Amino acid sequence: MLAGVRARQTIAAAFSSADNSFGLLRLMFAFAVLVSHSLPIGFGQDDPGGGLTNGQTGLGDIGILGFFVISGFLITRSGARVPVLRYLWHRGLRILPGLWVCLVVTAFVFAPIVSLSERGSLHGLFSDSDGPFQYILSNSFVAIWQYGISGLLLDTPYGQRTGTSVFNGSLWSLIYEVLCYLLVAGLAAIGVLRRARWLVAMLVLAGAGVMVHDLLRAPEVPGPQGVHGPVFGVDGLDTYSLVYLTYVFLLGAACQLYRERIVLNDGLAVVAAAVVVATTQLGAFAVLGYPAFAYLVLWLAVRLPRWSRRIGRRHDYSYGFYIYAFPVQQLLALLGVPRLGLVPYIAVCAIATLALAVPSWHVVERPAMSLKAWSPRRGEATASVPRPATDRRAPKPDAEKVPAAVGADEAATVRPPATRHRG
């Protein structure tokens, strides 16, 4: 049953409070990525989503798109209301502490367990040039330059298939997310978000032009999987991923900036759903399906049952679930859990991942976010005064009060190893 809200209302009216289902949607997208990873990591097989959509997308890719839509929508509100330096401080607090602890746990908990399982000892683990210490140093500043540790995890189905050591392939997209944050900061600094939002609309149109160009150039390869950048991005950014993900982020941003004009309508949502399904089967998913999917995400956030709005409002475990799922799946694959079958493997992985996501939120992420109002001038917390909204009808609640996690007022994303993570 869908929530009993008006079938037709503007985005501004629909999101006039923090009463929405973004928390549930983020968890659903994170779980979709875990499911998408299960066949490649646990069984060495392709994610079937690519075949079902003629190579255009997969279940994990859908999760990625959802994260970027929500992130663009909420991050843009934050950027428009909070001073730029304060905004950047908030973004750093949301992404970096959780990432740093995840890297430490991966390097000094997961890697030793894997070493003992594969080699029967820790010999050479810490002395190798690509050992745990180097793993942390190489990946601490968002861009992921080292995926493996001391040549471990080659005995997993994924390692046997790819011949590469990968502990956490999910971290690839953090750099793209952060670049989107910086884009918002730049647009806010020059006044675009408050006085020239039409420029964001032009960027969206430019992104749509790229989608059309790519479709016309290679209609036989209708999705972003048809073009790949450097393996693991070691030679720099994957330009294709940057353009496509930024475009989806900007779709969410445009919905935020034009919230008084865009209407969330049940009939339009049905049409959008039909477009998403049709384009995944017939082609042009990036051209037509991306905007339709972005509309659906925002519509679902206010039309899902009211009970769903309590999920993630106070305790948002989606970011922790997101960044710990891949190493958990790799370790359990090494230990033979996939022999139980696909569904039991997914269930065990989800439970084990949640067992790490919960303390990640309570011990690391939420305490870090409590420093949002800290000021270096006084060395203590001070009140952060948001910028006044230019639109008097704009939603009153500050974006910073929305529960922050993957896609809340920021998002990190995960790349499915079979379709996006070139191992």
* Residue 363: HSE in the Cβ half-sphere, 13 Å Cα cutoff: 10
The whole-number pLDDT of residue 49 equals: 75
Pairing between β-strand 374-375 and β-strand 380-381 as defined by DSSP bridges: antiparallel
User: Phi and psi of 52, rounded to 5°?
Assistant: -70, -20
CA 230 – CA 118 distance, rounded (Å): 29
According to DSSP H, which parts of 335-378 are helical? 342-359, 366-369
Look-up: residue for tokens 């810490």? 126
The whole-number pLDDT of residue 309 equals: 84
End-to-end Cα separation, the chain, in angstroms: 42
DSSP secondary-structure letter at 375? Answer: E
Encoding tokens for residue 130? 């690509």
The whole-number pLDDT of residue 396 equals: 39
Asked whether 165 and 159 are in contact (CB, 8 A), the reply is yes
Note the pLDDT tens digit of each residue in 170-216: 999 889 999 999 999 999 999 999 999 999 999 999 999 999 988 88
CA 245 – CA 241 distance, rounded (Å): 6
The whole-number pLDDT of residue 341 equals: 96
User: Phi and psi of 363, rounded to 5°?
Assistant: -100, -30
CA 301 – CA 305 distance, rounded (Å): 9
The whole-number pLDDT of residue 52 equals: 78
The model's pTM is: 0.85
Asked whether 184 and 75 are in contact (CB, 8 A), the reply is yes
Name residues whose C-beta falls within 8 Å of residue 279's C-beta, 6 or more positions apart in sequence.
Answer: 56, 285, 287, 288, 289, 292
Q: Which residues of the chain carry a pLDDT beneath 70?
A: 1-7, 219-237, 377-423
The whole-number pLDDT of residue 220 equals: 57
Look-up: residue for tokens 């990190």? 412
The whole-number pLDDT of residue 401 equals: 35
